[in-house]
Structure 1
Amino acid sequence: MGKETWPKFYQRLIQDNRTAFRGAQLKVMRADHLLEELEIAIRVLPQSIGKQFLIGLSGETVHITFLPDQMPLQLSAALGDCVHNIRSAFDHVAVALTAPPIGTGNPNYSGMPTGKDQNAYEGERAKKMKGAPPSALAIIDALEPWRGGRNLVRELHELDIMDKHRLLVPAIAEMHIRSMGAEIRGRPITITGNDVRSVADGQNFVIEIPCPGIKSHTEFKLTNSLKADFSIKFDRDHPCAGELVLPALKRMRATASELLEKCETAFPGVVSWRVMR
């Protein structure tokens, strides 16, 4: 296959600048590619599953309560791939900082330390970044890679561990109606997002539709032409529970990229230990 026919991501991989942080660079680039794939999956896959709903009436307003749905498992696979590559970028940075020529440690026993609290993190740092210079440790400390830290690094680690044992199945957080077919007293109508009000009750999603003159909820009927956009969140048993998936992952990815830039600035012109072997 000629290079010109490759996806842009694979063309960029050919450009290897041989820095100590090239592994982290490639992981961040791969994460960008996977985030694009995940965005498409979030837009497309929820359309493939049926929606359960209840119809009620309050005065002349129809209430449609959409019951919570699990997302298709293909979405879980895409989510897990994103999590793993972002997490791996942090490991690659930590190894580069610990191994020669920047540090004096053994790369085979190095990695990004995290902890359930700051004390646990410091204990992990002593083991996983043994041999890293103080200036490198200060850069890592600034990330606050413990639970509740500013940058979700520990939460990213926990998501990665969880994905190794079971699929990360997110939940629907928001549903934005683009168009929806319905019948009122047998008369077909098309409802758009401008015609409804969405209400989240913490678990379900309620669409309120003004229907002047309606007497009973049985006079209102949905057809099979719902078109909607979705956003998804981490479910209640996940790290980052309740946070929107894409913004959280993009924040983690941005943290990895910023860390990479700081390390390249602090340790310029250093060749990867892998090249030196």
Structure 2
Amino acid sequence: MKFLRFGELGAERPGLLDGEGRIRDLSDVVMDFAGPTVSNEALAELAAIDAETLPLVAEPGRIGACLAHVPNFFCIGLNYAKHAAESGLDAPDEPILFSKASSALSGPNDPVFIPRGSHKTDWEVELGVVIGREASYVSEAEALSHVSGYCVVNDVSERSFQMDRGGQWIKGKSAPTFGPVGPWLVSADEVPDPQALGLSLTLNGEVMQDSTTADMIFSVARIISHLSQFMILQPGDIIATGTPSGVGMGQRPQRFLRSGDVMELTVEGLGTQRQEVR
């Protein structure tokens, strides 16, 4: 099942796509998608509803972030072999964990704003994983049972803030609009193998990133298991699982976003985002 949120910023309503790709209104059934309402059990209950009984949305307008808010917005760095190579860095021995501020959350087609003082704003198409069941000290074998769904994430990054200003990477990852997610939250049953998904990003029509999740150094299951050794993952947490090669920082010469640029990014089966840079 594909779930989404539609409407103007701050007034989004929850919905789902029916078998013909039309949006059905879920606002009489669930208040919004966040935390407990995106648990495994909650999404299973929604999936059991006959979509034909739900109001049809003729003109949904803007598509919002597929999650209203997130308890935690985790990210994994250098998780694709070719991306680590283009960055001039060795593949890590364990997943590199950092966070984005939850206030970076943004709609899949909303503009991306270059922050004040930025000279190196970059793009990163990623597979997003939404936690659906509390995870603490889980094994790799059981890790995917804690996933309720998947989505597209653009882990927009300011490389100078990230690399040149000291401290944690979070400073370069957290500006407003730096976390587009969606358009859909796709239930886990529609993604039987998260390590077999194509993902790509174009900039002004030029292909910059084109890879598959098979190039991940650490699988989704390994990432969830690893994180759960240090913290409790909660329903509604999102994990951006790393980006493939082709980011602006890896270009020779390096290339970064400018006002008027247009990014279009896709993860196989999870939909497409489009953002204009301002």
**TM-score > 0.5, shorter chain as reference:** no
| TM-score class normalised by the smaller sequence | under 0.3
TM-score, normalised to structure 2's length?
A: 0.22
Return the index of the structure with the highest Cα Rg: 1
**Which structure is higher in strand share?**
2
**Which structure is higher in helix share?**
1
TM-score, normalised to structure 1's length?
A: 0.22
